[in-house]
Amino acid sequence: MIVLEQVSKKYDAGHLAVCEVSLRVPAGQLLVLLGGSGCGKTTTLKMINRLVEPTSGRIEVDGRDVRSVDPVQLRRGIGYVLQGSALFPHMTVAENIAVVPRLLNWPAERIEKRVDELLRLVHLPPDEYRGRMPQQLSGGQQQRVGFARALAAGPKVMLLDEPFGALDPVTRDELRNEFLQIRRQLGLTAVMVTHDMTEALLSADLIAVMNAGRLLRLGTPRELLTRPGDDFVAALMSSPKRQADQVEALVAEQGNGEPL
């Protein structure tokens, strides 16, 4: 379980990036932080693993105040996936996945076994991909390795910062479905940042809508769709529907123009 209580982040310049955000992610659920650029969603995410230190408020992961834990130890227990995978270009696929197990001083055979296991989990045949360099992989393959790297030490909690942001739409759908399946299979508690409404609706157990550093609305996708309770949220929620309608209209128009 992840709990945020009255969390704020104020930068030195006086800019209030996050303002008194409180939310709760029950164990095994996926919360999506949704909002436009600069709304504070990424800052909120990074405060959970202390890449950013909150100015005030309290954050708990699995019942422990994160401030009571050494940040390095804390992060080793939390999977972290970045946009565009951020694989280390000077390491092979296997070495990238083995980063955290190595930091934890696992024995070599255990690391090797774990790497193969994870490569199979993300549908990359180990024999083929183990020794490749990141530059030799497609964007989608790189992000699969990024997931495997985040999962290496078997974390119970995962943080994802726009993990599908840099991918083409087909790969994105495919990878998202696989990720959701893996997440359910492993029972992970996760927080994911996105600005893509459709993605949020299709992935989340809970959606937290943010704007200008504040949490506007927190609820299940269904709740937010049916009772947005706020004009901004309403506009946001209706956008996938609106887009779908436009696409439909386009199909109908072309159907009329072209003889079958």
**What are the residues binding other proteins (CB under 8 A)?**
49, 51, 72-77, 80, 82, 84, 86-90, 99-100, 103, 149-150, 159
Closest to other proteins by CB, 104 vs 251, is 104
Dihedral of CA atoms 150, 155, 161, 164 in degrees, nearest 10, equals 60
| Min dist. Cβ of residue 156 to other proteins (A) | 15
Of the candidates 15, 175, 36, 40, the residue with the CA atom closest to the CA atom of residue 4: 40
205 Cβ contact list (under 8 Å, min separation 6): 29, 30, 31, 220
| Choice between 186 and 218, CB closer to other proteins | 186
Residue whose CB is less far from other proteins, 48 or 224: 48
Least distance in angstroms from the C-beta of 99 to other proteins: 5
Q: How far is CA 236 from CA 2, 53, 59, 71, 210, in A?
A: 25, 29, 28, 35, 11
Q: Give the shortest CB-12-to-other proteins separation in angstroms.
A: 15
What's the min distance (Å) between Cβ of 183 and other proteins?
A: 18
Query: Position 84: which residue type?
Result: G
| Smaller CB separation from other proteins, 25 or 98 | 98
